[in-house]
Chains A and B, each alone.
Chain A
Amino acid sequence: MSIPARLNEVLNELPAIQARPAGARRVRVDVAPQGLPALLELLKGRLGFIHLSAISCVDWIEDGQFELVYHVWSHEMKLLVSCHVRIAREPGVYVSVHDIHEPAGFFERDIHEMFGVHFDGAPSMEKFILTSWEGPPPMRKDFNTRKHVEETFEWVDYRPDWLKDIERKGGGIES
Chain B
Amino acid sequence: MTTPQVPDPATLAPSEEYDLYFGPNHPGIEGNYSVRVRLKGDVICQAVADGGYLHRGFEKIMEDRLWVQNIALVPRICVPDPVPMEESYARAVEMIGGLEVPLRAQWIRVLMLELSRICAHLFTFGGNAATIGLYTNMFWGVTMRDLFLDIFEEITGARIYHIYITPGGVRRDLPEGVLERIEALLVELEERMPQFEDLFFNNAVVIDRATGTGRMSAEEALAWGVTGPNLRATGVASDVRRDDPYLVYPQVDFDIVTETGGDALARMMVRKGEVVQAVKIVRQAIAALRKVGGPVRCELPNPLAWDLPAGDAYARTESSKGELGFYIVSNGGPRPYRVHVRGASSMHAVQVLEKLLVGSRIEDVAQIMFSLDACPPEVDR
A interface with B by C-beta (< 8 Å): 22-23, 25-26, 50-54, 56-59, 69, 71, 73, 75, 78, 80, 82, 101-103, 105-107, 114, 128-132, 138-139, 143, 145-146
Contacts and interface: CB of A to CB of B under 8 A. Distances in A.
A105 B225 CA distance: 11
Contacts of B314: 26, 53-54, 56, 69, 71, 80, 82
B316 A53 contact: yes
B95 interface: yes
A54, A138, A139, A143, most chain B CB atoms within 10 A: A54
Interface stretch (B78-86, B153-161, B268-276, B337-345): B337-345
A127 to B, nearest CB: 8
Given A52-B225, A75-B243, A146-B64, A103 B351 contact: yes
Contacts of B380: 129
A129 B51 contact: yes
Contacts, number: 89
A132 B95 CA distance: 37
Contacts of B222: 50-51
A80 B242 CA distance: 14
B139 interface: no
Q: Which 7 pairs show the lowest CB-CB distances between chains A and B?
A: A103-B225, A129-B52, A54-B342, A56-B340, A56-B327, A58-B338, A129-B55
Interface residues of B, number: 36
Contacts of A101: 225
Interface of chain A, helix or strand or loop or mixed?
mixed
A50 B223 CA distance: 7
A56 B313 CA distance: 11
B342 A53 contact: yes
Contact of B223 (A57, A75, A102): A102
B325 A54 contact: yes
A52 B222 CA distance: 10
Nearest to B346: A106
A106 B347 contact: yes
Interface in B130-164: none
A52 B224 CA distance: 9
A138 B342 CA distance: 18
Contact of B224 (A23, A78, A103, A128): A103
B351 A105 contact: yes
